[in-house]
A and B are shown apart, each in its own frame.
Chain A
Amino acid sequence: MSDTPTSTSAKVLSARPPLWRDAVVLKWVTQLFLLFIVLTSLWFLTSQAGDNLEARDIPSDFNFIERPVDIQLSEGIDTHPDSGGRALWVGMVNTIRISIVGIIFATILGIIVGLARLSNNWLVNRLGTMWVETLRNIPLLVQIIFYFSVLTVLPRVTLESGPINGWFHISNKGISMPRVFLADGFYQWLVVVLIGAVVGYYVHRHRTRIHNETGTITSPTLWALAVITLFAIVGIFIHPIFSWVGSIFGALASLFDSLPVLVPQIVLSGVALVGAAMWVRKFIRKHRSARGHLSLVDDDWFRIIFTAAVSIILVFVFISWSGLSSWILNSGRDLFEVIESKFNVDGAARPFDAMRPEIIQKGKFPNYGPSGLTMSVSFAAVFFGVVFYTSAFIGENVRGGILAVPKGQIEAASAVGLRRSQALRHIILPQAFRVILPPTGNQYLNLTKNTSLAIAVGYSDIVQVGTTVFNQTGKTLPVVGIWMLFYLSCSLTISVIVNWFNVRMQLVER
């Protein structure tokens, strides 16, 4: 508020009110008072917890991540993890796995349910309503446990070929079916497909331009898809030529290995400081009038100070916590090494392979073998639980979204001569999608969080593994911290993706 423009009249100054009646002063005093109370309470509680933990001789550190633990997991990428950290990692992968599969199937089922609820067919309509009303009024946990108890009374698995010719096995050990899996050559093949995608993009642009110039129907999307498919098919045969790509990642890995810890520290600090500075500059520029007058109210000042403080705290954290930097370096190196090894395969490897489930004898009872796609009973219970439950809610969103498109829109579309299918594609769906997307994104978040109920049926998700870990080590607080961090990053990821779509949809609309 300091630099004033030249004013025609004499500059008039107002008298300042006394402090205890000044609205601005009171506003900030109240806020700081509350901040003080919150911080003191937090400090009080944590110090209490620290003392109590000390008294019970359970220090809250993260040692258990590297120490060996005695945990056997029911399923996952590693059923006998050698350390607490590895065990939690397996749990995270299991959570992510069931969430992604669940989201895909819940969406498909949800759309079907939503359309059924809109159907003119009385019976289909009623079925949809029954589905929705039943599933969303029974707690998910009850449903999961019910599915579990139903699945566990299925007949036992036998060594004879399963019920359907050895392709499908449904038993109290789970559900098993053949699968296609990614074989060694997949990543090389992926490079070919990526090149195909780039070419396809240009083809799409080219065809669109022709359409715009001449008005002939050029079906650009079809062309682009055809190009990508062509590349994908050709790639199956020629992908070994890309085995050299691995050496790029190898070089990156050795680069990360050789960097000193200081580099990421400096880079991170630089990003924090420069980012804050740029934000402040942009902010100030936005608040400066054409004549150069800067008008900042107290809230604006708070924002600037807050940004600066956060960036300085971040720099402090980066510098003082060298573990973070070395972790970044190490995991970067590991990541690139893994990618390198993915490319470093026999030239004859295929991108895909298929497998039938097989049964092996293990101990007294036969068990599923490593091949085929196997859903354990716990996985199946959680999977059906979250998919059915979420489908009811997504179905309601779909129905609401389509009903939310005003009738006038359909009339207008037919008035300008669009066919029904065209109206659906260009008019109704884009608008309905915009309404459907945000609540459905919310449902995806809920589904991810709901998979934590897996603990009730013994599926090794992060909560179940974490409970086992802290029961063994007594480190409850760190494990809970890891849980929260994990779920917060999952939520953040999903919100970012949904928001990205959301923004795109709104741009499309304009």
Chain B
Amino acid sequence: MTTVRELPLTFVPTPRLRRLALVAAVSLGAAIILARGELAVLAVAPLVLLAAAPRSALPTSASASWELAPLRCVEEDELVLSLQIVVPTTCAVEADVELAFSGEVRLDSVSRDGPTTRARWLVVPHRWGRYRAEPVTVRVLALHGLYAATVRLPLGELVVYPGSGAVARSVAPRELPARSGEHPSRAVGSGVEFAGVRPYTYGDRRRDIDWRTSARQSQLFVRQYAAERALTVVMVLDVAVDAGVPGRSTLDLTVRAATGLAQTYLGAHDRVGVVALGGSLRWLAPAAGARQLHRISESVMEVRLDDSQVGGGIDRVPLAALPAGAFVCVLSPLLDERALEAVRDLRARHVGLLVVDVLNTEPLVRRSSTLGGLAVRVWRMEREAVATKLARLGVPLLRWNGSGDLSPALLHAMRSMRPEVRA
């Protein structure tokens, strides 16, 4: 939405004015001290400039309109920031676009038509989040740059949703709860995927008769189709710790993977839910539909704002948020013992599990530091110990660095679910 406003301009002297006065004072002082009148020559030009800049000639206001669009976007989307300001032609206008978030700003075009100046920037946010963007500072310089007025143009709240793309296709186990969906299951039903043939029984539809098999067997056979079922996916986000460089930190990868999973599975009409561990425990019960995607996006965006450490374990998550037969994807840097506890609790609930390790960095130590090197080796061994613990629990672990598709690992985890876990 374009904001149009009459901006009051409060001018203050710039360093240029003070320096001109300083030069005049020094040279006049030297002329008096040295009793040499010609030294006043140095003071003439600064004094003329100061005299030609009366404060009464300063404009008192400027009319401006500006817009950042759209205010809701996904990481790496291109936003357009446009500004139009009307000031007297004697004034100079400078603009400082300072981003409150990680991103890139490029001046696209500038034009001046009489007193109206128009400028357009392209803004590319690199990191998801909810930002109270107030990035544009406009500085109006008047009277040879001796006075300056600074105004800040508020742009409202910018919401940058995490990028997705972590999961290329929705994969599902062969045995699914009895809820209609799009995944062919092992059960026979009214889907479209061929599941086999069986002898005809009274009541079968005539159009299901497989004439070729019937002719070969001299007995009527009917085709069977796989039932199409929906999958329930619950994403457990471990947001207690954030490690790594901004933009590729564990929290960034966690929310990107969660968004990718949610987009892909909700697109296949599955039910998706979220549980956020770390800080205060929060959950969103699984549901389907486009509205759920919006709810999930909003929910994962809030995890960064939460600095609370008074959280509960997965045992406090109600059954509705973690229904039986759900497949749980734990996204965690595995730096916190509580995450491992959560995996144990989930295992006890007999749900299908995949743990995605989103840590893609190591502690930084100086190369020359022997103790530092030793500490890193111990740290690596601890990581291996965590992986071994997970393997003993029968939980597949995938290390994910933000690139690559999670679908094969998901498929492997789903197909390797223990029989008691399956629906």
Is this pair of chains taken from one and the same complex? no
Q: Which residues of B contact A (CB under 8 A)?
A: none
